[in-house]
Amino acid sequence: MKLTRKDFPADFLWGAATSSYQIEGHAQGGAGLTEWDTFAATPGNVRNGDDGARACDHYNRWPEDLDLMRDANFDVYRFSTSWARVMPEGRGPVNAEGLDFYDRLVDGMLERGLKPAATLYHWELPVPLADMGGWRNREIANWFADFTEVMMGRIGDRVWSAAPINEPWCVGWLSHFLGVHAPGLRDIRATAHAMHHVMLGHGRSLEVMRGLGMKNLGAVCNFEYATPADASPEAQKAATLYDGYYNRFFLSGLFNRSYPADVMEGLGPHMPKGYEKDFDIIGKPVDWLGLNYYTRKIIAPDNGPWPGHHEVEGPLPKTSMDWEIFPDGLYSFLKRTHDGYTRGLPLYVTENGMANPDRLVNGAVNDQGRIDYLNAHIAKVKQAVDEGIPVKGYFTWSLMDNYEWSRGYDQRFGLVHVDFDSLQRTPKASYHAMKAALAR
């Protein structure tokens, strides 16, 4: 790596991230079905019809995986807890085996000197709640608060940090407007409701965790840089609107207690009645903000229904997800977020990384492309730190290859290669490079 631990402030933290459904193996340990199981069972939704039933079998192999985290000299492990594993019906009965699992996992991190950074919800919605409308139903905020109480009642005394929800944009827009993630809806009313209820759920969960006396609580949002397709005012407007419903909607909800006017031009008529009254809960102070960043999009206007634009192919080198590699976007979001919204609050890059067509050859994976990607993005983090923006840590997505949602097992994001037949883990060149860079 071009930069190492020594190039950053002494208290800057380094980590890697995973999520429960993507690695654990959800058919085990008494977990309930999640909406991803039924989404994946629907033809055409997920490449190969792959689901998370076995995934990386982290449910059994977690000691080996935590050893990999420790051995790479990471400070923090960002993981998620599955609602469906802990409360298979979504409400009511608790699956003791599920709670025990997270209890062991957290202790396993502490034993290895790793700080546990928990995310309560990384999309493991129990199907009984999906049957009741999932994120479209306002009650979900209370159901989620109850799950928070059960989960954090058990591990909240030992986690280093916690965030309620991973990437509200994916829960709201990607899953209810674009239909790319579970539940695969394409409906503006469903979207408006889900976008708001996910924020309300965040706020209610945060209240519960404060009530439990927990510290270091944050929010994790994903950001995509929007570039206009040409110099026309129409293209500029289209890119601004994309930025609005992707990035500003959540920042503004969390930190300004309102939603952006340009986004409300489209979503406004479809919002839940009286939603404005919820900002006292949504806007409760957080201790930090996590930014997940991968790419940018080129946006061109069209005459279709609102939002009236589409993505066009960009000229930059791409990852195997077909995502353009645009490190400047990361710097730009750190600066914009700090200047315009969080103003001094600690920021973390909670996800950043790339999918690469990695091949295991003679027991090794030479993923130089990933090393280059990480170098380029970490340099942008350093630029932000040097300018006094309070970025306090950086997490790579992901520790290991895993279930990449609608792309199934076809996209490899890990520092560690996983053979999805034998489940053998093999650290890639990027893992060894990070390990060397993070030596203390």
Where do contacts with ligand FCB occur on this chain (CB under 6 A)? 19, 22, 166-167, 170, 222, 292, 351, 397, 404-405, 413
Shorter beta-carbon distance to ligand FCB: residue 106 or 170: 170
Reference 76, options 23, 118, 20; nearest CA is 118
Please name which of 382, 221, 342 lies closest in space to residue 291, comparing C-alpha atoms.
221
Ramachandran bin of 353, using left for φ above 0, alpha for ψ from -120 to 50, beta for the remaining angles = left
Whether the CB-CB separation of 315 and 214 falls below 8 Å is answered with: no
Nearest to residue 121, comparing CAs of 50, 36, 245? 36
Q: How far apart are the first and last CA of the chain?
A: 15
**What are the catalytic residues?**
167, 351
Closest CB to ligand FCB among residues 244, 290: 290
Q: Which of 159, 154, 144 is nearest to 208 (CA)?
A: 144
- Minimal CA–CA distance to 17: which of 355, 329, 394, 424? 394
* Complex with ligand FCB: residue 140 or 174, whichever CB lies closer: 174
Nearer to ligand FCB, 316 or 439 (CB): 316
Q: How far apart are CA 297 and CA 14, in angstroms?
A: 28
CB neighbour list of residue 330: distance below 8 Å, 6 or more residues apart: 291, 293, 349, 352, 377, 380, 381
In the complex, least distance from residue 170 CB atom to ligand FCB, rounded to whole angstroms: 6
The full length of the chain comes to: 440
Q: Minimum distance between the CB of residue 246 and ligand FCB, rounded to whole angstroms?
A: 12
Structure tokens at 254: 């969390």
In the complex, the smallest distance separating the C-beta of residue 294 from ligand FCB, rounded to whole angstroms, is 6
By C-beta, is 95 or 402 nearer to ligand FCB?
Answer: 402
Which candidate, 372, 345, 388, 66, places its Cα nearest to that of 221? 345
Beta carbon of residue 388, minimum distance to ligand FCB (angstroms, whole number): 28
Cα 399 to Cα 387: distance, rounded to the nearest angstrom: 29
Strand pairing report for 425-427 and 416-418: antiparallel
**Minimum gap (Å) between residue 205 Cβ and ligand FCB:** 17
Q: Which is nearer to ligand FCB, 301 or 327 (CB)?
A: 327
Question: What is the per-residue DSSP string for 64-115?
Answer: HHHHHHHHTT-SEEEEE--HHHH-TTSSS---HHHHHHHHHHHHHHHHTTPE
CA distances from 220 to 100, 119, 162, 188, 238 (A): 25, 9, 10, 24, 25
Cβ of residue 403: shortest distance to ligand FCB, in angstroms?
A: 9
Angle at 127 between CA 414 and CA 179, to 5 degrees: 65
* Minimum CB distance to ligand FCB smaller for 165 or for 371: 165
Residue pair 420/409 in contact by the 8 Å Cβ criterion: yes
Name the region of 216 (left: φ>0; alpha: ψ -120 to 50; beta: rest): left
- Of the two residues 225 and 405, which places its CB atom closer to ligand FCB in the complex? 405
Residue 439 three-state SS? coil
